[in-house]
Chain A
Amino acid sequence: MTKKLTRRQVAWRIAQDIEEGNYVNLGIGQPELVANFIPADREIVFHSENGILGMGPEPGPNEVDYDLINAGKKPVTMLPGGSFFHHADSFGMIRGNHLDICVLGAFQVSEKGDLANWSTGGPDAVPAVGGAMDLAVGARLVFVMTDHNTKKGDAKIVRKCTYPLTGPGVVNTIYSDIAVIDVRPDGLVVREKVPGISFDELQARTEAQIGGRASCRELSAPEIE
């Protein structure tokens, strides 16, 4: 049986790859979970694109202040050392390559690291892009957090994205619920996969060609409530 990671376990796995001193932006939604699993001995500075560095965890019920929210419009807190700045400065930081890592969700990632995460191109959809395109081109490393396949079982890691792109060739590493895959100049290389699935099965669930059959390690995460 294939033992998939839960979303919180994927978030834990991503957190292990965030290093001491990194400036990190977590995308809206699932990527926000990553903040819960940063190892206690690492000091990380979280950026929120509305204009915060040094963002802290969710406030207690009596500390909520809606002038202090994150990009997902949820209340947050400030850590000692934090700062506020206006929106143009915030995106200057992003585009100017000052962030070490951003973690984004995805509809599709291609074998060249193209990312599609803002529009399914549907005729009735209201287009909305937010800061995704800026983060995709600006962060030094772009990590994608995603289920490996859609609910219908379709591949999300594809040869060529069929949805409108957020950015071409921007993704560095894909963290799915069954594998960690690096985007390299010569293609996708599996760094880790869950033990319950063979490399051939992983390939079958990935439309793009994947390498790393001989070198890939076991992907595991602690049990998380």
Chain B
Amino acid sequence: MINKIVDTLQDAVSTIEDGAIVLISGFGESGNPTELTHALIDHGARELTLVNNNAGNGHVGLAALLESGNVRKMVCSFPRSTDSGVFDNLYREGKIELEVVPQGTLAERIRAAGAGIGGFYTKTSIGTPLADGKERRTYNCEEYVLEEPLHADFALVKADLADRWGNLTYRLAARNFGPIMCSAARTTIVQARQIVPLGDIPPETVVTPGIYVDYIVEVTNPASEREMIENGVHYVSGAAE
């Protein structure tokens, strides 16, 4: 019997090794796998490369993982926010490497990795410093730049419903990077609000088919990063236990 369900967050992240490239779903605070991210802090894998659209807020979730000192490099499109002080300071102190990727190129590099595409040409960034040093090609009199797939070792993704095969749905706009990140990682780890019996998710409403998913852990009441930040929470290792 296929059963991708694991009992604890600790079990879910237990195979993440030092030096891993980790995709983390979410945009702003919608779709962030906060509990899995905190479990990764507790797990303590070091020298990580993280991929997310942003670079965290306050001192929780992604920002707390950055603050743990376990992240070597951040790949994102928009690290700045009103509350991105943790990343800003690490960057200014030279303690973290940053790769800025245009948002659509970031998404397509992830999608390409999951779809077995070896690279693609895009018009985005032509004529800008972000195209410097990249191979170019002209199609129909327009210039394009080569972008490479962004493969990862792990993906941490937040879903709404899941079943034991790993079929997933997402709430509202929290879908954002979830489906493509599930497809692009060697091992995909999902926190779902509710695990339902196989067959309860109608096939036509499955957004991510289970083939892309390896582990599922149920987190019934996922934390609101906004509320945690408003309450002055600073996540530190071990607090989840």
Contacts and interface: CB of A to CB of B under 8 A. Distances in A.
Interface in A55-103: 65-69, 73, 78, 84-88, 90-92, 94-95
A127 interface: yes
Interface string B94-106: 0000101111110
Interface string A38-56: 0000000000111110000
B215 interface: no
A131 B103 CA distance: 5
Nearest to A87: B107
B28 interface: yes
Given A50-B173, A131-B77, A66 B103 contact: no
A133 B130 contact: yes
A86 B178 contact: yes
Interface in B169-215: 170-180, 207
Contacts of B207: 86
Contacts of B126: 137, 167-168
Given A94-B104, A126-B98, A128-B100, A168 B124 contact: no
A201 interface: no
Contacts of B107: 86-88, 90-91
Interface string B55-88: 0000000000000000000000111110010011
A91 B108 contact: yes
Nearest to A127: B100
Interface centre among A73, A84, A87 (most CB of B within 10 A): A87
Interface in B1-43: 27-31
Contacts of A68: 30, 172-173
A94 B106 CA distance: 14
Interface centre among A85, A137, A164, A166 (most CB of B within 10 A): A137
A204 interface: no
B129 interface: yes
A124 interface: yes
A128 B125 contact: no
B171 A134 contact: no
Given A68-B30, A86-B178, A166-B128, A128 B79 contact: yes
A126 B79 contact: yes
B103 A167 contact: no
Contact of A165 (B105, B123, B128): B128
Given A94-B104, A127-B98, A88 B110 contact: yes
A47 to B, nearest CB: 12
A167 B127 contact: yes
Interface of B: 27-31, 53, 77-81, 84, 87-88, 91-92, 98, 100-105, 107-108, 110-111, 122-130, 170-180, 207, 224, 226
